[in-house]
Amino acid sequence: MSVAETVIEVRGLRNQFGTHVVHDGLDLDVYRGEILGVVGGSGTGKSVLLRSITGLITPAAGSVRMLGTEMRGASEAELDALAERIGVMFQDGALFSSLTVCENVMVPLSNVEGLDARTREALARLKISLSGLPWNAGDKFPSELSGGMRKRAGLARALALDPEIVFLDEPTAGLDPIGAAAFDELIRGLSRALGLTVFLVTHDLDTLYATCDRIAVLAEKRVLVTGTLDDMLEVDHPWVREYFLGPRARAARDAIAAGHGRE
């Protein structure tokens, strides 16, 4: 049996804002090709963890190694090279409102040497198509799109540089059940088809059941436990038991088992 390759290694992470400590001694491994769902109660720092790993926040202590690069102390050239190997989709897409969808997706491509304008546009429209948007969505502005379409546009931009790892921050938040289920299916399909590693922050139980290979639970300022959904059912911790064994969890589990999630 082959050993899974670790593409993200977090050790002893501490995040602190003033006197408020969000994470303390947090350890986490993410393996190549998996979809890891990160869950936790309000205030446990799920999005803060994502931003720490991607370099958008500098931790107070600890280390983050991603794709072989130690983030702390890395040179600007090393960080630039790493940025081309990852994609990030923030809540609601975080698109530039003054640019069309196609222009938004072209932004990461603008720094790639040797690509003329026509090639950049063709690549952008390919990623828009991969995200499941209709053919004419590329010419629309974000304000002309529904919430679900903006999220797909944000995903298209995250995929612009053919990343190895994609970070998704609450990708189904605010979507209706049908739209959320379709987005879950899209994430799962893209991960398998493109060999993506997906780091997925969510509170959505249906998303966990439909897409994730493993789950990391944030509690008590650290990663309390990691494992499969079945593993979560055996964890003797009040929040974990309430979250994974409560009525909503049972409904999500039963719906997936019956082959029709989010009904």
User: Please, is 31 exposed, middle or buried when counting C-beta atoms within 10 Å of its C-beta (0-12, 13-18, 19+)?
Assistant: middle
Classified as helix, coil or strand, 84 is coil
Distance, C-alpha 41 to centroid of its chain? 17
**pLDDT value at position 236?**
92
Supply 161's token pair: 């540089």
Which residues, 6+ apart, have CB-to-CB distance to 78 below 8 Å? 69
Supply 39's token pair: 């869950």
Which among 262, 255, 206, 199 has a CA at the least distance from the CA of 229? 206
Tens digit of pLDDT per residue, the chain (263 long)?
457 899 999 999 999 999 999 999 999 999 999 999 999 998 999 999 999 999 999 999 999 999 999 998 899 999 999 999 999 998 766 899 999 999 999 999 988 888 899 999 999 999 999 999 998 999 999 999 998 899 999 999 999 999 999 999 999 988 898 899 999 999 999 999 999 999 999 988 999 999 999 999 999 999 999 999 999 999 999 999 999 987 766 666 666 666 655 55
**pLDDT value at position 262?**
56
- Delineate the domains of the chain, giving CATH numbers in brackets: 6-85+163-257 (3.40.50.300), 91-157 (no CATH)
Q: What angle do CA 12, 63, 213 make, to 5 degrees?
A: 80
| Structural contact between residues 211 and 199, judged by C-beta atoms closer than 8 angstroms | no
Condensed to tens digits (0 to 9), the pLDDT of residues 19-64 reads 999 999 999 999 999 999 999 998 999 999 999 999 999 999 999 9
| Structural contact between residues 209 and 215, judged by C-beta atoms closer than 8 angstroms | no
Which among 36, 28, 29, 37 has a CA at the least distance from the CA of 205? 37
